[in-house]
Each structure stands twice: as C-alpha cells, then as structure tokens.
Chains A and B, each alone.
Chain A
Amino acid sequence: MSDNTTTVISRRDLIKLMIGSGVSVAAAVALAGPLTPLVEQLASGLERRTTAESPRQHPRWGMVIDLSKCIGCEYCVYACQATNDTRDDMRWNIHLVDETPTGRTFHITRPCLHCQNAPCVRVCPVAATYNRADGLVVMDYNKCIGCRYCQAACPYGARVFNWEDRGDEPNPYVPFWGTPEVPRRPRGVVEKCTFCIHRIDAGVAQGLVPGIDREATPACVNACPVGARAFGDLNDPESPVSRLILTRPTLRLREDLGTEANVYYIPPEGMAL
C-alpha cells in the first residue's frame, strides 16, 4: 500500500502491537480458569484414546464381512432397518452390486466401519460423536447440533440425517424382520450404524459374549443366511473375527486414508489383494 503520509509501522506501533499480543495471551489464560472442567473433559478424552490402543484391557469390537460368501439377499439390510427402526432412505447398512477387475459380479454390504481414526469424530464441532474405549464410534443425540459436517467428512457415506420428524409412521420391516429395539431419533440430528450397541452393552453386562451369543450380537450378523458376517473382539485372538483375519486374506475399505476401520472384508473370488 502506498501511503506516503505515514510510515507503515513505527517502533512505537510495534511495541503497541507486542503489548496487544501480550494482552491476548493474558486474556486467553484468564479465560482458561473457569473453563477448567472443559479442559479436564478434553484430557480425559485423550486418556480414553490411549487406553483403547493398549490391547487386552478392553475389547475392540469389529466385524468381518466375507464378500466371497455374500449373495446380496439384503437380509442384513432389512434386519437392521427393523431393529434400529430406519427408513429406506436412511439405511445404516447398505448393499451394492459391484464387479471385480476380472469382470465377476460380487455383492458388498456396508455398515458403519467404526474407524479407530474416524474422520467424522475429528470434525464434529461439539464432540457429539466419539470413539468409545471398546472401539465403537458412537453418537450422542443430545449433543448433536445437526451441522452435518460429519456427513461431509465420512469417506464411506455411512451417516444419515433426520431431515424430518418421523412421528409414528409404520415401519414395513416390522415385525417380519424384527422389532425396534431403540427409540426413533429426533428431527435434526445425524445418526448411523451402532453395531447394535444396545445389544453389546446389555449382553456384556449379563456375561454374554458378543459375536457368539446371539442376544449380544448385531442384528445384521444374526440375520445373514450364509454366514457372511462375523462379529467379535478383535483384541481376543480366539474370537470369530480374529480367527478369520488370521486365516483369510482381508482388506479394509479405503485403507489409504488411514481410517483404521474395525470392519474387515474378505475379498470376493477373482480379486487379488
């Protein structure tokens, strides 16, 4: 800028500027005082993360989906819709028909992948979605402000928004495919697959083993007629999922993004890894 009446910045101004920055820092420190509970909350969040990474202390729930077995019947899709009470345009678990590089058709289903390094968790401005110690990516419907940034960030399109109040409209998948086990979500919040967290938590409290005892296992896994879905603790080498991962080749979706998904896929026939 060419202003010849004033020098751009004098020594005095520079000093003023430095004093100004000092005041800013002081104000930030002063502000931090009453906000200590929030800082602690934050620190506990970091702690949670470290414990989640150390094996054995906690389970890490995961799923293996065998694409060489999947026949595309969509039973898992409907069982999820009945159990979690979702609409056709708000499916938590979707089915796609795709093709291997060798031209073979295969079926793929996609729940929420419960990433350990979840992009949705990182972007949520109010920490309404977070990683639990057992690896689940969960939603706090009471915190969510409905900004939908998590939908923009999720690389898998796994999140859906409650555009409308669903009232008590009927769910066509009930009762044939199951009965709703969780309340409908209110208008204006984002939701997604929970790995049937209500079953896991209630089951574990009763001493059941998710992935083995049906009452503690996600509805989609129970519904699969060909046993293409397995569930269990990835930290337990004896769990159904760990055994599959140890014995079969597996891939995770968009491994390049470093999301560390807890859902593993056994590739379809005709697909090299």
Chain B
Amino acid sequence: MTAIVNFARRSPLYTAWILFLALLLGIGVFSILTVLAQGLGMTNLTNQLPWGLWITVDLSSIALGAGAFTLSAAVYVFGLKRYEAIARAAVLIGLLGYTGAMLALLVDIGRPDRFYHPLLYWNVHSVLWEITLCVMFYTTVLVMEVLPIVIESTPLRNNRWLLGLAHLLHRIMPVAALFGMALSLLHQSSLGATYGVLTARPVWFSPSAPVLFILSAVAAGIGATIAFTVVTEALQKRQLVPPDILNNVALLAGVAAAAYLYLKVWSWAATNYYSHSPALEHDLELLGENTPYGFTFWWFEVLLGALVPMVIYLWPRTRRSKLALFVAGALGILGVIVYRWNMTLAGFVVPMDWSPGVLRNLEVATYTPAPIEWGVAIGIVAYWLLAWSLAARFLHLYPEAEGARRVTGHAPAEAHEAAAPAR
C-alpha cells in the first residue's frame, strides 16, 4: 500500500490518468453488466438496423490490431529481426484490439452464453463462421506472443516454470507468427466480405470490400502502432525505437495507405460512378438525403483517413517528424473507424426493395446509439488505453529503447538482470 502511495506521489500525473481511465472502465463494466442482465432491448438497434456502434467498435478494434500480424510476420517469418524493436508493441496493440473486439461481440450477440457454438456447430459456408474461428485462433496466437513479454518483464520471471514457458514460446514464435499471418489475412479480409457478399443490398455488395478491409487495416494498424509509440516516447522523454526502424515502418504504412487509397477510389469509380447501376444510384441518393454518408466518405474515409496519412508516411520530410507521424496515425485511426461505421450503417439504412410495385414505400432506418451503447464503447476504449498505459510503463515493450536493459528470449541470464523497468 505504501509502495503505491509513494509511486503516486512520484508520478501524480500518471496516477491521475490511470485513475481517470479506471473510472471510464468502470462505466464500461457497469454498462456491460447491465446489458447482459437486461438484454439488447436497451439499445437503439432495430430489426431494420440490427448492427450499430458495437459492431463498429468491434471492426475498428480488429482493424487497429493489424499491425501485429504485419510486423510479427516481418520479424519471425521474413527474418527482419531488427523490427522486433517495434513488433512487440504492435503485438500488444493487436491483443488489446482483439480482446476488445471479442468483448464488444460478446455484449452484442443475443445469447452470450452460447459464444462457443461456432466451435461446435459448423457452417463452413458462412463467412462469419470463418471469422469467428480465425479470431479465436488468432487471439490465442497473440496471447502466446504477449505472454513471454509479460513473464520476462515482471517478477513472474522468478518462477522457473514460467520462464521456461516464455523461452518455449519464443522458440515456437516463427510458427506462431506464420499461423498468425495466415489467420489475419483470412479474417481481416472476411470482415469486409461479411458485407461484400450480401447481394441483396447494392451499397454492400462489392468484391473489393474484403481487400479494402485488409488494406485499410494494415495501414491504420501500423499507423496506430507508430502513433502509440511516438506518444509514449514524448511522455517518457526517451527514444523507444531506433529512428531508421520507425522510418521504415512508417514507409510500410504509407505503401499500405497508398494501395488502400488506389483501390478505394477505383472501387468507388467503378461501382458508384461509371456503372450507373439504377439500384445503387437510388440507394446512394437515399443515403445522401438521410445521412452525411457522402460527406463523411470523402472527408473522413478518403481525404483525412487515407490521403493525408499516405502523404505524411511517404514524404521523407514529414516521415521524420514525430508530430507528423502522430497526426497521420490519429487520422488513420479516425478514417478506419468512419469507414467501418459507414459500411455497417449504409446497408441497413436503405430499405430493401422486394415488392414488385413501384412505390418503394419501406421507411429509411435511422439510428443514434443509446447511452448504454456509448457506455460499453467508452469502456472498451478505456480498456485499450489503460492496458497500454500500464504496459508502456511496466512491461518491456521496446527492446531497443534507450536505457532499457536488454531482454531476449534466448538469453535467460540476461533476462534475470532486467529487474524493474527503466523508471
């Protein structure tokens, strides 16, 4: 107890931040328990618009975790060992993203008590079944990747068995990373396919959705890892990742953002502009009249969410600026959230036209999340930030950080040295 008080006295700002996040997390936990007890009737979701804010949180959360598989694959599959300097941070963000998403999904499904049903009852023809299995397996991979970091940078390393486990996990890391890459390539794309395969809704049906989902996830996921890193560097007033590594990773994010932007604009041009599909034109007109869809698409998804980050990452001068990297990361996160929100809502807002008549008299759906939905969403964001804030301070996230004692999985003797974190 006195240790905690002393710690709080030494770092009052940090302690206040942690307490603030804990409060938000408390709101989230309260909201989650309330929904689990009372049911989804408390939300503003309807039969016409059955997916909303939580699905957006879930999709965005998984997308932002995409830095994990990209950088893990770079280190363990393609042998670019130096990138471990940032890969651990990416893997942690990945784990937070996936666990946050699974939490959001658990609250969102009508029968959380049956969460394991996809494991027992298979429908191999369902893209959602594939996603569920991939996400479950990949979260296991992420736990395997994060566990050694936790063991090695906390007093847990004093336990011989746990330390042995950490070394074993290190040794099988290449296989885990390969699995992780395969699983991620599958489900990150399938999340787009969730909407893309639904032929009945013209604004959803699109073969490019799966690829757009994974490209936007890779760009925003790496961007998020960079942004979290530069903010942590600024707060801890030390260099965490060697500049050349950060520079190359930012370049990778820029290439992904460019690929995303190129496909996005062409996807729009081919389906929404040049094709003149009457059904799609009608739906887009309805969307334009009833929602800020067009505005948010161009401003947040394309311009601020993809073009600006791409320029920042690809232009060497901005790429060297930590502030610019933070701005690019934050805009990328915003862009991916708006994309997932628009994608989820667009298809539901426009009513389907199945009657042989000409009136099209089914009503346009409207949706504003209920307070309880915001409560859960805030709780999940607080969970990411709280876990990150604690990990950045107490775990050995950046092996190449200034002032960090080197810890590698292959050298148990060194691991013992790395007692407390740098400060």
B77's contact among A20, A100, A145, A153, by CB below 8 Å, is which? A20
Q: How far is the CB of B125 from chain A (nearest CB, A)?
A: 5
| CB neighbours of A156 from chain B (8 A) | 352, 354
| CB neighbours of A189 from chain B (8 A) | 110-111
Interface residues of A in 98-139 (CB under 8 A from B): 98-101, 106, 108, 110, 119, 122-128
| Nearest neighbor of B48 in chain A, beta-carbon distance | A157
Asked whether, in the complex, the Cβ of A152 is within 8 Å of the Cβ of B348, the reply is: yes
In the bound complex, CA of A16 to CA of B76 (Å): 10
Assuming A6-B79, A21-B178, A189-B110, is B123 touching A124 (CB within 8 A)?
A: yes
A126's contact among B40, B118, B255, B359, by CB below 8 Å, is which? B118
| Nearest neighbor of A159 in chain B, beta-carbon distance | B47
- Number of A-B pairs whose CB atoms are under 8 Å? 192
Pick the interface stretch among B127-135, B398-406, B415-423: B127-135
A143 within 8 A of B: yes
| B contact residues, total (Cβ < 8 Å) | 64
Asked whether, in the complex, the Cβ of B356 is within 8 Å of the Cβ of A17, the reply is: no
B143 within 8 A of A: no
Asked whether, in the complex, the Cβ of B79 is within 8 Å of the Cβ of A13, the reply is: yes
A164's contact among B41, B78, B80, B182, by CB below 8 Å, is which? B41
In the bound complex, CA of A236 to CA of B353 (Å): 32
Interface residues of B in 104-140 (CB under 8 A from A): 108-111, 114-115, 117-118, 120-129, 131-132
Asked whether, in the complex, the Cβ of B117 is within 8 Å of the Cβ of A143, the reply is: yes
A123's contact among B127, B132, B178, B355, by CB below 8 Å, is which? B127
Assuming A3-B248, A98-B355, is B198 touching A188 (CB within 8 A)?
A: no
Assuming A3-B80, A20-B175, is B126 touching A253 (CB within 8 A)?
A: no
B45 within 8 A of A: yes
Q: How far is the CB of A94 from chain B (nearest CB, A)?
A: 10
Size class of the A contact interface (CB-based, 8 Å): 35 or more
A96 within 8 A of B: yes
Asked whether, in the complex, the Cβ of A98 is within 8 Å of the Cβ of B178, the reply is: no
Asked whether, in the complex, the Cβ of A253 is within 8 Å of the Cβ of B347, the reply is: no
Interface residues of A in 241-273 (CB under 8 A from B): 251, 253-254, 257, 265, 267, 271
Secondary structure call for the A interface: loop
In the bound complex, CA of A5 to CA of B43 (Å): 54
Assuming A89-B47, A148-B51, A189-B110, is B123 touching A125 (CB within 8 A)?
A: yes
Q: How far is the CB of B128 from chain A (nearest CB, A)?
A: 4
B14 within 8 A of A: no
Asked whether, in the complex, the Cβ of A157 is within 8 Å of the Cβ of B354, the reply is: yes
Assuming A41-B122, A119-B200, A146-B111, is B39 touching A106 (CB within 8 A)?
A: no
A90 within 8 A of B: yes
In the bound complex, CA of A127 to CA of B114 (Å): 13
A30 within 8 A of B: no
Asked whether, in the complex, the Cβ of B78 is within 8 Å of the Cβ of A187, the reply is: no
Asked whether, in the complex, the Cβ of B354 is within 8 Å of the Cβ of A2, the reply is: no
- The residues of B with any CB-CB pair to A shorter than 8 Å are 39-41, 43, 45, 47-48, 50-51, 74, 77-82, 108-111, 114-115, 117-118, 120-129, 131-132, 174-175, 178-179, 182, 194-195, 197-201, 248, 251-252, 255, 347-348, 351-352, 354-359, 361-362
Across the A-B interface, the 8 shortest Cβ-Cβ residue pairs:
A146-B110, A98-B357, A188-B110, A155-B200, A164-B41, A125-B129, A125-B128, A127-B123
A-B contact pairs, 16 of them (CB 8 A): A13-B77, A16-B174, A20-B175, A23-B175, A122-B125, A123-B197, A123-B198, A125-B123, A126-B122, A127-B122, A144-B111, A145-B109, A145-B118, A155-B199, A156-B352, A253-B355
